[in-house]
Amino acid sequence: MSIKGGSYVNVSSSSRIMVWKTAGAVLRLIWGNDRMLLLGAGMLQVVAAIIPALQIYTTKEMVDVLSEALVSPNKTASFPAALAWVTLQSFLFASLTVMRSIGEYMSLQLQTRTSFHMDKQIAEKAAKLPLSVFDQPTYYDQLQRVSNGVSLRTMNVIQSLFALVQHVFTLTAVLIVLAAFHWAVAAALLLILIPNMLLHMRIGQWQFWQMIAQTPTARRSKYIFQLLCGREAAKEIRVFGTAIYLRDLWSKLFWKNATEQLRLHRKTLLSRSVHEGGAELTLYLACILLTWLCVQGRMTVGSFVSIFQAMRNSQNAMSGMVFTLSRFYQDALYVSEWFTFAGMEEERSPEKPSTLSGSLQKGIEVRELTFQYPGAVEPDLDQISLHIHPGQKIAIVGENGAGKSTLIKCLIGLYSPSQGQILYDGIPLESLEPTDFRKRVTAVFQDFVQYQLTLKENIGLGHLEQINNTEALIQAAHRTGINEWLTLKAESLETQLGILFEGGKELSLGQWQKVALSRALFKEAELVVLDEPTSSMDPKAEAELYRLFSTLSEGKISLMVSHRLGSCKHADLILVMEKGRIIEQGNHNQLMSQNGVYADMFRIQANLYHIETVSEPIIS
């Protein structure tokens, strides 16, 4: 079954293959990690499955012994035999209870370990995916599906498999016992079982495909709910009075999914009721047949009672089996999403990786680089060629959306070019060993991370090998002026930052930016990338930082994106971008004398400062 325009079309056979493939993959996965637990739990299930059939047999023997005793002259003579059957039956009940408790504990253990293993794999996988994957909404749909209790569903698959095996054993044993009495009774049971199983498999598929179809809406509704309840939008919701609008949007999305779910539930209940009615009728007819055989004297009272009991028990076992099957189908389809996620293509590593030896000699050469985001109609970077020499300081300027950040991300290998090449000392970037290459890069991105962790971690994450080097951490914090608002001692490095967790210290945006800069400075790297590194800083901090950077990046390549053209004046090369292209390049003096876009932008900014310093304030 698949979804077209919100409705379901039948592809159930491929779903069935997927279900059994997933069940196999789940077994292999758990076998690989916890085979002893799996074997133990499996054996318990099989033993527990045989017990109900033994119980039917003991009941039959017990009733026959007792009914014989009733008609025999020496009634008490049968007592030891009857007692033996009663004792055996009690023993069987007791063993079943003990086995269930042990099985439950083993399952719990297996579930905890599987949950850890699967979540770990999701986290590891996400870290290996190409950055472009994070630009696609389908990734977030899939992530939501795999992070929403998938490990619990994996355990359900295993438990359902065990339960199915148990049901199959129980029912087979019951069928054999019944067929030995009369084939028609066994046939009646099968007649109930097979259509019911097919129906419940189908119900499992319906529910799964509905869940897939509803994920985007569920995610959107969750997002709006978070906006309503979280910190991110709290200010704007109050200032713009958008709470009711957002709440209505959320409730519309909520009810869209809920109405569809209720509709499917109605359909499911109706189909189930029709099937259960048919099953009840068939059982009723089989019971009439039994009664007829008994009154004709063609079976003993013991046989009649035990078959009657077996028929009713098997009805429960069948309901259990079809319910388990439906749950198994749904869970296995759900878990198949985890395997799809785990199989996602990772960031490509070169087959024969090259490494750069020592510091760059020839620098970075970009040849006709073209890049287009997935779904974009036009290239976001268009035929860019340039040469960056070792030790050069590059500034990239241009209007919003010109492609500055995208160019930087391509240059450090976060995005792969659609066309063209980037060469480091003549070696194509895609053939460089990624981990080795990234050791050469440090960066502060426009959307830097505010880690809700300690100050030590916020800086130390820049260079993990040195995270316990207190002196170096304090030095990195000093460089960006963190000491001006936090006394920098070894203990203060343990200060929790942000308000998300108890005892945390919230910072201003500019302070967070300084922390991000300290993190970048903490890593000794040959290529320094700064995407609007001072956008939230006060003028004094900004001026100090530029001074600091020109000293620290001596002999290194620095790539800086900035809208403050004053900060680019001392760059060796300024790239002016417009609509994905470099339209001007040169140093400040060259570009000013060209009198082009850069010179215009520079004068506009200079004029703003000039007006503000020499004339009346614009807003009084």
* Range 442-481, binding ligand ATP (CB under 6 A): 446
Confirm or reject binding of residue 382 to ligand ATP (CB under 6 A).
no
Confirm or reject binding of residue 402 to ligand ATP (CB under 6 A).
yes
Question: For ligand ATP, which is the closer residue by CB, 254 or 373?
Answer: 373
Distance CA 342, CA 145 (A): 13
Confirm or reject binding of residue 372 to ligand ATP (CB under 6 A).
no
Interface segment toward ligand ATP; rule CB under 6 A; list 330-338, 354-362, 395-403, 450-458: 395-403
Nearest C-alpha neighbor of 362 from the set 425, 421, 413, 415: 425
Confirm or reject binding of residue 406 to ligand ATP (CB under 6 A).
yes
Question: For ligand ATP, which is the closer residue by CB, 221 or 406?
Answer: 406
CA distances for 393 relative to 528, 551, 557, angstroms: 9, 11, 6
Interface segment toward ligand ATP; rule CB under 6 A; list 402-410, 452-460, 492-500, 545-553: 402-410
Determine the 3-state secondary structure of 369 from DSSP.
strand
Distance CA 416, CA 510 (A): 32
Beta bridge partners of 423: 365, 428
* DSSP-assigned letter for residue 378: S
Q: How far is the CB of 404 from ligand ATP (least distance, A)?
A: 4
Interface segment toward ligand ATP; rule CB under 6 A; list 118-126, 238-246, 319-327, 393-401: 393-401
Interface segment toward ligand ATP; rule CB under 6 A; list 187-195, 403-411, 482-490, 581-589: 403-411
Burial of 582 (0-12, 13-18, 19+ CB in 10 A): buried
* Range 118-177, binding ligand ATP (CB under 6 A): 135
Nearest C-alpha neighbor of 521 from the set 574, 475, 587: 475
Interface segment toward ligand ATP; rule CB under 6 A; list 232-240, 323-331, 398-406, 545-553: 398-406
Q: Quick one: tokens of 128?
A: 């290996």
E-strand spans in 416-483?
419-424, 427-428, 441-444
Q: How far is the CB of 216 from ligand ATP (least distance, A)?
A: 18
Distance CA 62, CA 84 (A): 9
Q: Pick from 7, 357, 400, 487: which binds ligand ATP (CB under 6 A)?
A: 400
Confirm or reject binding of residue 398 to ligand ATP (CB under 6 A).
yes
Beta bridge partners of 444: 530
Q: How far is the CB of 562 from ligand ATP (least distance, A)?
A: 9
Q: Pick from 401, 436, 449, 506: which binds ligand ATP (CB under 6 A)?
A: 401
Beta bridge partners of 304: none
State the number of binding residues for ligand ATP (CB under 6 A). 13
Confirm or reject binding of residue 528 to ligand ATP (CB under 6 A).
no
Q: Quick one: tokens of 120?
A: 């770990």
Q: How far is the CB of 409 from ligand ATP (least distance, A)?
A: 8
Confirm or reject binding of residue 373 to ligand ATP (CB under 6 A).
yes
Q: How far is the CB of 486 from ligand ATP (least distance, A)?
A: 30
Q: Are 143 and 341 in contact (CB under 8 A)?
A: yes
Determine the 3-state secondary structure of 545 from DSSP.
helix
Q: How far is the CB of 51 from ligand ATP (least distance, A)?
A: 59
Confirm or reject binding of residue 380 to ligand ATP (CB under 6 A).
yes
DSSP states of 399-415 as a string?
A: STTSSHHHHHHHHTTSS
Interface segment toward ligand ATP; rule CB under 6 A; list 40-48, 114-122, 234-242, 404-412: 404-412
In single-letter form, the type of residue at position 384 comes to: I
What lies within 8 Å, CB to CB, of 555 at 6+ separation is 359, 390, 391
Contact set with ligand ATP (CB under 6 A): 135, 373, 376, 380, 398, 400-406, 446
